[in-house]
Amino acid sequence: MLKRIDLHIHTTASDGRLTPKEVIDEAHKNGVSLIAITDHDTIEAYTDELFKYAKSKNIEIIKGVEISTKNNKVGIHVLGYNIDIKNNKFKEKLSKIRNSRHDYLHKVSKRLNELGYILNVEELDKIEAVTKAHIALDVISSEKNKEKLIRTFGHIPNKGEFIETIMNENCPAYVNKETVTPKEAAKIIREAGGKVVLAHPVAYVHEDNLTDIDISNIINDMKPDGLEANYIYVNKDNNKFDETKKWNDFAKVHNLFVTIGSDFHAKDGISPEIGLVNTSFTLKEKTINEIINKLKQ
């Protein structure tokens, strides 16, 4: 049987649709032997109950997190693996980052209201690690916004299209969110005993128009241990890009080990699912073992 791992999965603890236990069930169904839950700026998914449940399904967990950062006004995501989730200093710093998310929610909701969109801010505020995805989904799912959305887009957009057209930098509802830099995030992760990985560089090229030199500069500044080179990117128009060879070569040049992740949030029939089972992409078992060993060192 083909060995599969997935080191980038989101749950309901941030902006995923499945609970942590449901993620385990899905991983088990997909034949995935090892996972990392990497919720945005939170490790709330990791409970004793979850570890016991994963063990009962013969699934190994590497503890992870995805920290939202900003570098020269561009959002950069930094993955941390094999972290000490009981480290109080680490938990305090994540809490501070999450609090800035709620400040952002209130500021961006005001901007969206001014544009004519209606949000359920009270419900969104209950989400501990509230994200742009939560906010966008709230807007596009509301019947109250249907007419405005169709007038603006010509159709009901998906959340990615809404974010990239309305909420990102140089867009009408852009709000600067106070956050840490990639270098600061790397420091936070290392202080908790973790390995630092720069998430999905392919996304920064397609979404933010960063060049390879830009990404090299980020790497030189934050000095990650690894790069999420094995990642299938799906843009706002649902086009898929497999540029894994390029980013594996890029990792070698920069002396970084590589990781693999689906960035799973929900089953939408398009985006990669847990273990990338709905794509043709696979890794050799030797490569998988090398990744696991690097993360556990």
In a domain, 138, yes or no: yes
Full domain range(s) for residue 195: 4-87+179-296
Domain match, 191 and 264 both? yes
Domain match, 111 and 59 both? no
CB of 35 within 8 A of CB of 288? Answer: no
Domain match, 101 and 43 both? no
In a domain, 107, yes or no: yes
DSSP state of 243: -
d(CA 20, CA 43): 11
Q: How many folded domains does the chain comprise?
A: 2
* First-to-last C-alpha distance (Å) of the chain: 27
In a domain, 10, yes or no: yes
Domain match, 131 and 160 both? yes
Predicted pLDDT of residue 54? 98
Query: Domain with 45 in it: what CATH number?
Result: 3.20.20.140
Match 């590497």 to its residue by tokens.
Answer: 62
The pLDDT profile of the chain, 297 residues, written as one tens digit per residue, is 679 999 999 999 999 999 999 999 999 999 999 999 999 999 999 999 999 999 999 999 999 999 999 888 788 999 999 999 999 999 999 999 988 889 999 999 999 999 999 999 999 998 887 889 899 999 999 999 999 999 999 999 999 899 999 999 889 999 987 789 999 999 999 999 999 999 999 999 999 999 999 999 999 999 999 999 999 999 988 999 999 999 999 999 999 999 999 999 999 999 999 999 999 999 999 999 999 999 998
55-75 burial, b at 16+ Cβ within 10 Å, e below that, comes to eeeebebbbbbbbbbbbeebb
Domain match, 77 and 133 both? no
Domain match, 45 and 125 both? no
- Look up residue 23 and give its two tokens: 């993620």
Domain match, 251 and 290 both? yes
Domain match, 15 and 143 both? no
In a domain, 174, yes or no: no
